[in-house]
Amino acid sequence: MSKNKWDERFSKEGYFYGKEPNEFIREKSSIIPEKSKVGCFAEGEGRNAVYLATLGHDVTSYDQAVAGLKKTKELAAENRVHVETVQQDLITEKVTTETFDAAVMVFGHVPGESQAKFIQNIIGSVKPGGHVLFEVYSKEQFDYKTGGPPVIDNLYDPIDILNWIKPYKCLHFYYGEAERIEGSGHTGTGHVIQVILKK
């Protein structure tokens, strides 16, 4: 979806994916060492970034939509934490390498031809020894109709992801169903791919 479409979506009242963090991030965030420098990528309205900031991390949130970053600042203020925000297209613009202790990405969906570059951009932002956590919808999600892009090319193939993360130590990999009730954007059982890797 284009930057303008995301800006339009995030400009509407309320939080499209809710204010609570993604359940996978909530469950697995303890793997991130205390007071880490964390990058949250394709972070939308900031729910995961703000959650991680409440845990005491130094968080920077990246998204292409200015409206989403504005909502991130508002949610951070509501929770009395600070989140740095950066407006960036993560396909065409390279993130500074080896900057973060950990990186998080939740349901960041881009066209198939750009997925490898997108994921490698996120992994590249992490220092050696750091962690990368992400959850995305698999191509199976196309039949579930409970969230995610309506274009199958923008969903992920588990074999592709395994190939992209092969150079790193995989600590967790899951391919299967998960219940995701997140605002009005994710509305029930879906089919996801989860990854935790150590660089």
pLDDT digits (tens, 9 = 90+) for 57-92: 999 999 999 999 999 999 999 999 999 999 999 999
Span 93-142, pLDDT tens digits: 999 999 999 999 999 999 999 999 999 999 999 999 999 999 999 999 99
pLDDT band at 5 (very low <50, low <70, confident <90, very high): confident
pLDDT > 90? residue 7:
no
- DSSP of 120-183, one letter per residue? HHHHHTEEEEEEEEEEEEBGGGGGT-SSS-S-GGGSB-HHHHHHHTTTSEEEEEEEEEEEEEET
How high is the pLDDT of residue 148? 94
| One-letter amino acid of 19 | K
Phi, psi of 122 (to 5 degrees): -70, -50
Judged by phi (left if over 0) then psi (alpha if -120 to 50, else beta), residue 6 lies in alpha
Contact 97, 121 (CB under 8 A): no
Instruction: Give me the number of domains the chain comprises.
Output: 1
Q: What is the pLDDT of residue 11?
A: 81
With cut-offs at 50, 70 and 90, classify the pLDDT of residue 1. Answer: low
- pLDDT confidence bin for 10, thresholds 50/70/90: confident
d(CA 13, CA 187): 18
Judge whether 13 and 79 are in contact, CB under 8 Å: no
194: domain range?
3-198
Whole-number pLDDT of residue 6: 72
CATH number at residue 136: 3.40.50.150
Assign 2 a pLDDT band (cuts: 50, 70, 90): low
